[in-house]
């Protein structure tokens, strides 16, 4: 159980921030400027639904405008409140700086249970919320660009983009007002999988450094690693799926809102996901042991723990019992500041949220660029690239004939080599590159400074110094 001394989510983020800035030479004024949230707008609006007026409360918080537009998702949940939105907006600032997405940090939330409303009702609610934000430039391609978060997805983003267009009929860049849209409404290939894919790429990069793997008391690569995933939403599902299908990990437990599933032989992620879609939860899934108190599964022995649901799930109440030597924060803020202290003392290696889940905003950045450039990635160069590859293959064939067909190309070489990169390949390549560079920036600080003993502090140091450099360049 959580006790009273657990700080709030926002305080938790501030504590982690303070721990990092204590190791930096920032002027106190600048430190304060970076830490505080610039503004949080609260709106209460009524929508006539089912014969009566329902009032909804929504927020859009802007943490830092050292770069514009500011960026960050919109969350739909009954648990949304100002403190949470502000903590998430701050994390967006640090996340964008870490992965060099040229944005400030923002976040929005609407206090609503999306499952309690029909699709057409949710559309009305979303359009009304969007209207309130658009008229204050809190949704705008140049100033504030939302994206999906918990409880929202492509559908909501398409409504928001359309609402913006209705209110800004001559804005040729209207599609760039929001990211995470469906492909046919100006989205980009690979955005839905992006955060989960980023978690996978983050782990690939971590396992490229034997020293770091050793720090987590692990060895070898990802193949055969035993993984526990908490939350099989968009992020957890894709991360688990890729780790299992492409990297040979065994998903030994999946935790959902109604309990946990355990199977030492490994769970079939796709089958569990289908089960949840059909039955609303994991209970009753046949090929696993069902644990009603799901949070207990977080404490099981495994190699990698992937909290991919929401903030505060690893707190001072359970941190001591967490056995995973490596935790990758696929969600935002799943480990409280208090739990972080306990885990660091135990020697647990934590790959922090602002890095681990940055795949979403990275691909959002690509989508925004695509919308502003009005052309899909790969459209210009793809066939030219294929043509040049064809030239080389023809030449190889010619030389081979010349020596009496002495050698043979491996069967799928031609097919793979000849295919020019389309949008999905380019998005994945850009994401992979981003995750590698950001990890290397963090690990360099982690390993080169005696006073930095964990990746989170290293991540904050990298981010804060970049944000500080932007402010200094503006003359602050």
Closest CA to 425 of 178, 202, 197, 238: 197
| Residue spans of alpha helices (H) in 7-77 | 9-21, 28-35
Q: Which residues, numbered 393-452, are part of the site for ligand GLU (CB under 6 A)?
A: none
71 forms part of the interface with ligand GLU (CB under 6 A) = yes
Q: How far is the CB of 361 from ligand GLU (least distance, A)?
A: 4
Q: Distances from the Cα of 9 to the Cαs of 13, 68, 334, 463, in angstroms?
A: 6, 25, 9, 19
Q: Please give the Cα distance from 18 to 84 (Å, whole number).
A: 18
Q: Which is nearer to ligand GLU, 336 or 364 (CB)?
A: 364
Segment interacting with ligand GLU (CB under 6 A) among 60-68, 122-130, 276-284, 360-368? 360-368
Q: Please give the Cα distance from 272 to 456 (Å, whole number).
A: 32
CA atoms lying within 13 Å on the CB side of residue 41: 18
364 forms part of the interface with ligand GLU (CB under 6 A) = yes
Q: How far is the CB of 332 from ligand GLU (least distance, A)?
A: 5
Buried-exposed string 237-256: b where 16+ CB fall within 10 A, e elsewhere: bbbbbbbbeebebbbbbbbb
Segment interacting with ligand GLU (CB under 6 A) among 119-127, 207-215, 354-362, 422-430? 354-362
Closest CA to 366 of 204, 205, 176, 234: 176
Q: Please give the Cα distance from 144 to 177 (Å, whole number).
A: 7
Q: How far is the CB of 109 from ligand GLU (least distance, A)?
A: 11
Decide the pairing of beta strands 349-351 and 259-262: unpaired
Q: Is 107 a catalytic residue?
A: yes
Binding residue (CB under 6 A) for ligand GLU from 16, 361, 427, 467: 361
How many residues of this chain bind ligand GLU (CB under 6 A)?
A: 11
Tell me if residue 64 falls in helix, strand or coil.
strand
x/- site string to ligand GLU, residues 129 to 148, per CB under 6 A? ------------------x-
Q: Give 236: exposed, middle or buried? Use CB within 10 Å, 0-12, 13-18, 19+.
A: buried
Q: Please give the Cα distance from 86 to 64 (Å, whole number).
A: 11
Segment interacting with ligand GLU (CB under 6 A) among 69-77, 202-210, 278-286, 455-463? 69-77
CA atoms lying within 13 Å on the CB side of residue 4: 0
Q: Please give the Cα distance from 372 to 188 (Å, whole number).
A: 12
238 forms part of the interface with ligand GLU (CB under 6 A) = no
Q: Which is nearer to ligand GLU, 353 or 432 (CB)?
A: 353
Segment interacting with ligand GLU (CB under 6 A) among 27-35, 223-231, 265-273, 357-365? 357-365
x/- site string to ligand GLU, residues 165 to 184, per CB under 6 A? --------------x-----
Q: Please give the Cα distance from 225 to 214 (Å, whole number).
A: 14
Q: Please give the Cα distance from 360 to 362 (Å, whole number).
A: 5
349 forms part of the interface with ligand GLU (CB under 6 A) = no
Segment interacting with ligand GLU (CB under 6 A) among 205-213, 300-308, 356-364, 436-444? 356-364
Q: Please give the Cα distance from 305 to 342 (Å, whole number).
A: 16
Residue sitting closest to ligand GLU (CB): 73
Binding residue (CB under 6 A) for ligand GLU from 77, 93, 315, 332: 332
108 forms part of the interface with ligand GLU (CB under 6 A) = no
Q: Which is nearer to ligand GLU, 75 or 250 (CB)?
A: 75
Q: How far is the CB of 139 from ligand GLU (least distance, A)?
A: 12
Q: Please give the Cα distance from 117 to 367 (Å, whole number).
A: 29
Segment interacting with ligand GLU (CB under 6 A) among 27-35, 66-74, 218-226, 287-295? 66-74
Binding residue (CB under 6 A) for ligand GLU from 360, 378, 443, 458: 360
Closest CA to 309 of 60, 56, 129, 75: 75
Q: How far is the CB of 475 from ligand GLU (least distance, A)?
A: 28
72 forms part of the interface with ligand GLU (CB under 6 A) = yes
Q: Please give the Cα distance from 410 to 407 (Å, whole number).
A: 10
Q: Which is nearer to ligand GLU, 307 or 360 (CB)?
A: 360
Phi-psi bin for 404: left (phi > 0), alpha (psi -120 to 50), beta? Answer: left
Segment interacting with ligand GLU (CB under 6 A) among 206-214, 273-281, 358-366, 440-448? 358-366
73 forms part of the interface with ligand GLU (CB under 6 A) = yes
Residue in 71, 107, 181, 225 annotated catalytic: 107
21 forms part of the interface with ligand GLU (CB under 6 A) = no
Q: Which is nearer to ligand GLU, 73 or 325 (CB)?
A: 73
Backbone φ, ψ for residue 136 (5° rounding): -105, 15
Q: Please give the Cα distance from 177 to 21 (Å, whole number).
A: 33
311 forms part of the interface with ligand GLU (CB under 6 A) = no
Residue ranges in contact with ligand GLU by CB under 6 A = 71-73, 147, 149, 179, 332, 357, 360-361, 364
Active site residues per annotation: 107
């Amino acid at each position: 159980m959580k006790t009273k001394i657990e700080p709030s989510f926002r305080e938790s983020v501030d504590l982690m921030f303070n721990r990092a800035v204590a190791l930096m030479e920032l002027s106190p004024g600048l430190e304060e400027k970076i830490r505080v949230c610039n503004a949080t707008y609260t709106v209460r609006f009524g929508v006539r639904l089912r014969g009566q007026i329902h009032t909804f409360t929504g927020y859009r918080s802007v943490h830092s405008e050292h770069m514009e537009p500011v960026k960050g998702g919109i969350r739909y949940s009954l648990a949304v409140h100002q403190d949470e939105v502000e903590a998430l907006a701050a994390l967006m600032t640090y996340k964008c700086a870490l992965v060099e997405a040229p944005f400030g940090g923002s976040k929005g939330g609407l206090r609503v249970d999306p499952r309690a409303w029909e699709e057409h009702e949710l559309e009305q609610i979303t359009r009304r919320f969007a209207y309130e934000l658009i008229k204050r430039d809190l949704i705008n391609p140049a100033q504030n660009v939302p994206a999906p978060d918990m409880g929202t997805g492509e559908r909501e983003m398409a409504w928001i983009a359309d609402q913006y267009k209705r209110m800004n009929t001559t804005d040729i860049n209207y599609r760039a007002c929001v990211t995470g849209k469906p492909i046919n409404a100006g989205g980009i290939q690979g955005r839905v999988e992006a955060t989960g894919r980023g978690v996978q790429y983050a782990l690939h990069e971590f396992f490229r450094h034997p020293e770091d793997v050793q720090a987590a008391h692990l060895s070898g690569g990802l193949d055969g690693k035993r993984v526990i995933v908490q939350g099989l939403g968009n992020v957890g599902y894709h991360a688990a799926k890729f780790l299992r299908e492409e990297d040979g990990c065994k998903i030994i437990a999946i935790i959902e809102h109604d309990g946990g599933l355990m199977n030492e032989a490994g769970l079939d992620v796709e089958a569990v996901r289908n089960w949840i879609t059909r039955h609303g939860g994991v209970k009753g899934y046949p090929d696993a042991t069902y644990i009603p108190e799901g949070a207990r599964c977080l404490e099981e022995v495994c190699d990698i723990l992937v909290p991919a649901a929401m903030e505060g799930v690893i707190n001072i109440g359970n941190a001591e019992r967490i056995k995973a030597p490596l935790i990758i924060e696929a969600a935002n803020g799943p480990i409280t500041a208090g739990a972080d202290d306990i885990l660091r003392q135990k020697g647990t290696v934590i790959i922090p949220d602002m890095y681990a889940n940055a795949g979403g905003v990275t691909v959002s950045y690509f989508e925004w660029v695509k919308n502003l450039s009005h052309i899909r990635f790969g459209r210009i160069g793809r066939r030219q690239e294929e043509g040049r590859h064809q030239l080389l293959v023809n030449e190889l064939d010619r030389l081979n004939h010349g020596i009496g067909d002495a050698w043979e190309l491996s069967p799928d070489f031609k097919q793979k080599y000849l295919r020019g990169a389309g949008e999905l390949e380019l998005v994945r390549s850009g994401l992979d590159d981003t995750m590698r560079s950001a990890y290397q920036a963090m690990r360099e600080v982690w390993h080169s400074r005696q006073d930095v003993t964990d990746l989170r502090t290293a991540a904050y140091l990298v981010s804060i110094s970049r944000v500080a450099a932007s402010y200094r360049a503006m003359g602050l």
